[in-house]
Amino acid sequence: MSRLLLALDTATEVTSVGLARVEDGVVTLLGGAVEDAPRAALSRVLPMAEVVLAESGFSASDLDGVIVGRGPGSFTGVRIGVAAAKGLAHGLGVPLWAVGTLDAIAQPYADESVLLAVVGDAMRGEVYPALFRCGGGRAERLAPDRVSKPAVVAAEWDELGEPLVLVGNGIRKYEELFAATLGQRATFAERERWAPSPTGLFAAWAVASTAGALGDGNPATVLPVYTRLSDAEEAERERAGLPWVGALDTGVAGSSAASAIRLGEGDAS
């Protein structure tokens, strides 16, 4: 079966859109666009998708599915991407699948024999770290998404005693810190590889598809990944006298331990 799929990610300062044909498990990239669009993803992502489709001779009505990078990343950026993808998929009546933003950054390294350290900028003096063992056509994730202080992450990676290739927009802020801790074992990727690319998004989708980890394609069940509560949610919990939640599987209020406010336990409103 042949399917035409659109992929997008706005979780970083970069907006990435791609179009691919998938047939018998083979992904063929038909077009793509990548733009530096800090604080502008809301106004750029759908026009970019329209251009990518038109340049390949298609329109939105030709799509058989949508793929979205669901974070972690900028809270606002993740929300924009997931909301745009949900609206598009729901309006067209096609499946929506989500992939990890950090996985989409890592997958283009699948043929390089490296220990890849992805450093996403989490703001608040924190990062989203993720390790991938790459080579032989695979980029194997070694740990789930989380948020942490960069000094803590650097110390953990230093204890591995292995050479690392560091990639991700967190490098912009913390390159000196990681360089000082890791020394000559650290190699920093070029800026062009810090954000998800169209190729990376489709590769992450293909890996998840092969692993049976894509879900049922229902747009309503796709959740963003934040790994923690927002500033507003944390402030509300503090006002309500609720305990600190810490790292979460998604960071979406209403899931796991973050549900207390919505369920009315100590609700200050």
pLDDT of amino acid 30: 98
Domain of residue 236, residue span: 230-269
Per-residue pLDDT for 257 more than 90?
no
Closest CA to 117 of 159, 76, 88, 82: 159
pLDDT-derived band at 1 (thresholds 50, 70, 90) equals confident
Percent of the chain with pLDDT over 90: 83
36 and 123 both lie in a single domain:
no
Evaluate the CA torsion angle 217, 31, 76, 173 in order and state its sign.
Answer: positive
Mean pLDDT of 162-172: 98
Mean pLDDT of 238-256: 49
- Which comes out higher in pLDDT, residue 44 or 252? 44
Per-residue pLDDT for 149 more than 90?
yes
76 and 32 both lie in a single domain:
yes
Mean pLDDT of 137-166: 97
118 and 183 both lie in a single domain:
yes
pTM (two decimals): 0.87
Distance, CA of 81 to CA of 226 (rounded, Å): 13
25: Cα within 13 Å, side-chain hemisphere: 6
115 and 153 both lie in a single domain:
yes
Rounded to the nearest 5 percent, the helix, strand and coil shares of the chain are: 40, 25, 35
pLDDT of amino acid 93: 98
- Domain total for the chain? 3
pLDDT-derived band at 265 (thresholds 50, 70, 90) equals very low
Q: Please, what is the Cα angle at 91 between 88 and 96, to 5 degrees?
A: 50
72 and 21 both lie in a single domain:
yes
29 and 59 both lie in a single domain:
yes
Find out whether 264 and 245 touch, Cβ atoms under 8 Å.
Answer: no
Mean pLDDT of 156-174: 98
Residues 119-141 have pLDDT tens digits of 999 999 999 999 999 999 999 99
14 and 58 both lie in a single domain:
yes
91 and 161 both lie in a single domain:
no
pLDDT of amino acid 231: 54
